[in-house]
Amino acid sequence: MLQATQSERMRKSWVWMAVLAVISIVGGVLALANPFAATLAATLLAGWAFAFLGLVQIIQAFQIRDWSGFLWALMFGVITLVVGAVLLLDPLAGMVSLTILVACLFLFTGVVKTMYALSLRPMSGWGWVLASGLVSILLALMILTNFPVSAATVLGILLAIELLSNGVLFLFVALGLRRLGTV
């Protein structure tokens, strides 16, 4: 059980969680309103993240020059930096690449979830795992059959769904925090 002071501090933080909820929901609605802009933003964000991670990895590699894995660490950093630079310098091509990657990820995880569901078959609830696998496969097929047009919007729609989902989560947490200690 939470101590009274900790519980009170958490209850008072509900407003901040509500602000996060509103920001996330508004961001999700805006991303749905313009999925191309959201896709471009997601691609650029991924580019900056890869570039930053690559740079940090390169710096870290030079900190361990005497290690036998130095060259591998350096190559990993360089490749990550190059991926980031490519996404930043040609975000439209990056959208295409990331969309193919997402479609492959959905397809792969869908097949794995489907096989997992079939292995669970005698157990209760295996059908939900199967449904999840089939939805993933269906999403992959929808992306791939509408390719390359889907590359302009898929990432933005996924970003919108994630933002809306987080916004709803934050809203429920905020409401729970608001009621904390008043029951």
Q: Which of 149, 157, 38 is nearest to 106 (CA)?
A: 157
Q: What pLDDT tens digit does each residue of the chain (183 aa) get?
A: 556 677 777 777 888 989 999 999 999 999 999 999 999 999 999 999 999 999 999 999 999 888 888 999 999 999 999 999 999 999 999 999 999 999 999 999 999 999 999 998 888 889 999 999 999 999 999 999 998 899 999 999 999 999 999 999 989 888 888 887 565
The domain segmentation of the chain, as residue ranges, is: 11-171
Q: Which long-range contacts (CB under 8 A, 24 or more apart) does 178-183 make?
A: 178/11, 178/14, 178/18, 180/7, 180/10, 180/11, 180/14, 181/7, 181/8, 181/11, 182/11
**Tokens matching residue 1:** 């059980």
